[in-house]
Each structure stands twice: as structure tokens, then as C-alpha cells.
Amino acid sequence: MADKPNILWIYGEDLYPNLACYGTPVVQTPNIDQLASEGTLFTHAFVTCPVCSPSRSAIITGRYQNSFGAHNHRSKRDVPLPRDIRLITDYFRNAGYYTCNSPGPPFDKPGKTDFNFQREGVFDGIDWSQRAEGQPFYAQNNITDTHRNFTPDPENPIDPDAVELPPYYPDHPLVRKDWAMYLESVQVFDRKVGQVLQRLEDEGIADNTLVFLIADHGCAHIRDKQFLYDGGIRVPCIVRWPSHIDAGVVSDELVSGIDFAPTALSLAGLDVPSEMQGNIFLGADATSRSEIFSARDRCDGTVDRIRCVRTKQYKYIRNYHPDRAYMQFNRYKHQQYPLWTLLPVLAKEGKLTDAQAKFLAPYRPYEELYDLQADPHEIDNLADSPDHRDALTDLRTRLDNWIETFDSHGAVPEDPAVIAAQAEDMHAKNHAQMHADHGNPWPVSPEEYMAMWERKLLG
């Protein structure tokens, strides 16, 4: 066992790569920056779903969530995982590894899983200190600070006036404050990452531990999480293994979330099962991707079906419910995102640019096409552009082929009774929470609710 490397996945939550080593100004992430300098940083890593339970289900299995029915968010947490599907922990356990999961420092309780299936015994324990002497480990540290509500950083507060906002967000004090709070939570995450890495050093196992720093999906802002723009599906991916993986390398290879499991197994010297649908992106057996695919289905009580294929240059998005607004009601967003309330108010006041107003459209195009090199923020839809007809046709075909091969469950409509129950539950919980937070009557107009957000965040 002594020659087998330990495997550690450090999971960020709702974490777009807004890190200093990825070029984000203002935010300070010295520990992750150091990790990147000692390993390989991937600039084009994406997950297969922009919300946690389907994405985490895909990552832990190395399979697209749509291929085994885990695509509707938190819809099957009481349904046993099919027997023919195994998890990365099964393969490491069979190879003699101890498997464990904690939320990171202080490593004293189970970490988040949030898989969209029911499965007993995913992990052997909480922390690698519980393993037998000399036994290698596969560990996850699921650090949750970047999930809303964001964890503030009083040690290094970020000036809202100093942040850089995407052009599709209005320049407003509420938005700046909310974005600064998100970046502060990234700094808290970075310090916990530093504590994890220091523990490896203190225990003398850093050189024989293969570290992945990843996330379940992009950041929790209105055009990001639960949507297939890069803000929802792009994640950090840094891999370090001293003397085995090149240090200080920045790679633009495309990486998918379903590639994490086969890559970890391969680097550990284990066979990669043929049932896994991901690629190996590091090591002697690495192959290159030409595209990644991602899918969004029902989230909570909000029904949607969106698919995308992304190359290094283009993103093609297909909206299967073009008659529905982007801003369909969603309790989580209504209660957690200040901009969800602010945007319609600013639109009424005529204070939005065209790019900012697009998200308020009462319906969507069936197809969206973006030239990511010319338009990294995915603002100018080129689906009707004659100059981009070849790219559109190519990506349509790629997506159709992926759907035929991997989206068998996603193409089946969900039981209307289940949808109705989820919608009823979402609205009931929204009413109860708003009553608990604000009394009765709670703020029902956007203007009233925005005033509440201003009091809460701006004082």
C-alpha cells in the first residue's frame, strides 16, 4: 500500500473560479494560488449540471446524470442507486483505500454529499485519521462557505466599490455589496483550503497526496447557478501531485465534471471502468476533449429543460421551454438573490442596459449561439447569424448525438403529479419563510422587497 498515493478532493460549493490565480482582481486567495503554482490549473473545466445534486451525482459516478435518472434536482434522494452503477469510492475501497468525507477544518463531522440518489455506505468514515496504519485514503473535504448565505470575511473585507461586475449585472449598490460578500466567502474558503494543505504538510503526506481542487457548479447569482451560461457551469480545477504532475502549468484543455473520477483512478494506478463516461485528462493515458455537455432540468418546483454543448470557441444552448421566462418563480432565488428582486424594479425605472434587460424577457429563443472568444459574457446570440450557420449546424449535430447517447432519462417527461407536488411545496415554503422573516403582511411588491434588501445589506 505504501506506493499508492492518497487522493484528496477539496470541493468548493457554488464556486465559479473567481480566484486570484484565475485572474479575478480584489479577491485574495494566497493558499489556492500557491496550490496552483505547485500543480496544473485548468482554465476550461465545466460540470454537467449547474445545480448541486445532479452535478454531484455525475461527478461521484463518472456518468452524466441524465443517463441514469439523477437529472431533476433532489428528486430521487430516497430512490436506491441502480445496482449496476458504482461510485468512485467503491473502486478505491476495493483497492484497499479508506474513504472519508468531512466539511474540512475541524474534520469532525460528515461532509456534504447531496447526491440525487439513495445509497448507504458511500464513505467509510469522516476523516483519514480513522484509517488503519499505512492505509491510503480517498477523502473529500466539502467546504460550504461560498454557498448562500455567504460567509463574511471580517479579517479582509472587500470594498464593494472595488469589485468588477459582469456587464449583464446592473451597477447598483445592492449588486456591488452582494458580489463583494460572495468574494469575501471565497477568501474564507481559501483560508480553509490552506488549513487542509497545511495539515498534509504537518503529517508528512503532502508529497504522496494527489490533490484536486474543484467545485460542484458555478456561483449563486441570477444568471449563473441553474443556468447553462459559463457562470453556472464553469468551475476551478487545480491538480497537484509533487514530482508526478507538472508544477506551474496552465492548461486550456476542456475538462468535464465526469472526468474527475476516471482521472483520479488512472493517476492512482487503478483501472478505469468502461462504464464511466468521462475522459482522463492528466497522466500518461490523458486524451483531449473537443467539447463538453451540460444539462439543466427541474430545480425545486421550477420546471425547465435546457441543454448545451461548449467548445473552446462556441457555446450552443437549446431551450426546450422557450415560452417560459428565464425568471420563472423559484423560492430559493426569490429569498436569496437581491438582484432577483432588484432587476424588475430597475427595468420599470428604465435603468437597465440591453444586456441587463435580456434576462427579464417573458420568453426565450429556442436556440442560443455564442462566440466565446469575441463575447465571453454570452450576450450576443448568433443563432440567426448567416455568418455562423456552419457553427450552429455543427453544434446542433453534436448535441443531438449526445442526447441520443446519454440523455435517455432526460427526454422522458416527469410525472405531472410529482411536478405539481414540488410546485405546491415550493410555494408553501416560500410563504412560510417570508412570514417568519418579515411578519404579516410580508413585502409582496418588488419595491417593498427591494427596500428590505437595502436595509439588510446596506444599512
Q: Which residues of the chain have pLDDT under 50?
A: 1
- 10 Å Cβ neighbour count for 309? 25
Q: In angstroms, how far is CA 225 from the centroid of its own chain?
A: 7
Q: Are 254 and 292 in contact (CB under 8 A)?
A: yes
| 242: DSSP letter | T
- pLDDT digits over 304-359, tens only? 999 999 999 999 999 999 999 999 999 999 999 999 999 999 999 999 999 999 99
Query: Which residues contact residue 175 at a Cβ distance below 8 angstroms, ignoring those fewer than 6 apart?
Result: 165, 169, 338, 339, 342
This prediction's pTM: 0.97
Q: What is the pLDDT of residue 2?
A: 54
Q: What is the pLDDT of residue 435?
A: 86
Please give the order of strands across the beta sheet that includes 306-310: 292-296, 306-310, 314-319, 367-371
Q: Are 82 and 305 in contact (CB under 8 A)?
A: no
Domains of the chain: 6-290 (3.40.720.10), 306-458 (no CATH)
Q: Output phi, psi for 56, to 5 deg.
A: -65, -35
Can you tell me which residue has the cell 480545477?
Answer: 237
Please give the order of strands across the beta sheet that includes 6-12: 98-102, 137-143, 6-12, 209-215, 234-240, 40-46, 249-256
**Strand pairing partners for 142?**
11
Angle at which helices 52-61 and 260-267 cross, to 10°: 30
Cα 274 to Cα 123: distance, rounded to the nearest angstrom? 22
Cα 309 to Cα 291: distance, rounded to the nearest angstrom? 7
3-state SS assignment for residue 314: strand
3-state SS assignment for residue 93: helix
The greatest distance separating any two alpha carbons of the chain, rounded to the nearest whole angstrom, comes to 66
